[in-house]
Amino acid sequence: MKWKEKCNMLSSENTVIGFIGTGVMGRSMAGHLLKAGYPLVVYNRTKEKAETLLQQGAEWADSPLEVAQKANVIITIVGYPQDVEEVYLGEQGIITNGNANTYVIDMTTSNPSLAEKIDVEAKNRGMFALDAPVSGGDVGAKEARLSIMVGGDKAVFDEIEPLLKLLGTNVVYQGKAGAGQHTKMCNQIAGATTLLGVCEAIVYAEKAGLDPKNVLTSIESGAAGSWLLSNMGRRMLDGNFEPGFYIKHHIKDMNIALQEAEAMGMETPGLSVVQRLYSELAEKGEENSGHQALYKYWQK
């Protein structure tokens, strides 16, 4: 089927968006779509987390199956790869029960191989899949300035890109199915090792008897400056360990990256160290803290 025969450009008049996963980031992301005028059907395992969206006019669905029956564009951002597989390919899943010509976009950070599997299964059902993980945390989601890394068929991306630009300011097509997830692994590797450096710099400043906030003011505008240094560094010093990104999810992402790197024959010594430190924190009960709680490793 030719693309121009399949559908017109997606708009609020011919599109109902399903959104599965209304947690810390998903709730804000779904809210932007509502504000843009799109009818929205939402599902989350804990209905209370969708209450704000329901008050704004979203429709509740009792299962992914119900979302699949009501929406022709479905976005997911859930916890773990096993959750992604269940939401897409389980008995109540959106590919299992969805209609032909439905677009499905998984924005969870997940396995590249699972993204490839979903792409194949979607095509078998006459559906169109993208893997589109995001970076930017809770703040980026609230301010609609996420970085979105997209894998899948380029023609599908071209049709969905306007919707993605309602959620992020840096939307980049990376290649075939799984390419978005591989790009997110690059992001997680760089982010994890950078955050380790931020923590070590702050602890060093403290032990040297310096005012660490003054130190941040000096170094954040130099060559060492980064978003993580300026934002997560200040959260650490303010004692703010609320999750924009959970430690338990960061561990999940690092494990995926380590597995993928090993499969490619690549050593990742920096990532391995950070994964070990986070795992120790999780064992001490910090798994639901924000990833900036890596700073607590030194507070023994």
Take residue 32 and report the two structure tokens written for it.
């932007």
Candidates 123, 184, 248, 300; catalytic one: 184
Q: What is the DSSP string of the chain?
A: --HHHH-----TTT--EEEE--STTHHHHHHHHHHTT--EEEE-SSGGGGHHHHHTTPEE-SSHHHHHHH-SEEEE--SSHHHHHHHHHSTT-HHHHPPTT-EEEE-S---HHHHHHHHHHHHHTT-EEEE--EESHHHHHHTT-EEEEEEE-HHHHHHHHHHHTTTEEEEEEEESTTHHHHHHHHHHHHHHHHHHHHHHHHHHHHHTT--HHHHHHHHTTSTT--HIIIIIHHHHHTT----SSBHHHHHHHHHHHHHHHHHTT---HHHHHHHHHHHHHIIIIITTSBGGGGGGGG--
Any catalytic annotation for residue 35? no
Q: What tokens were used for 232?
A: 């997560």
Q: CA–CA separation, 284 vs 182, rounded Å?
A: 30
d(CA 125, CA 96): 8
- Long-range contacts: 50-54, Cβ < 8 Å, 24+? 50/22, 52/27, 53/19, 53/22, 53/27
| d(C-alpha 278, C-alpha 293), whole Å | 9
Residues involved in catalysis:
184
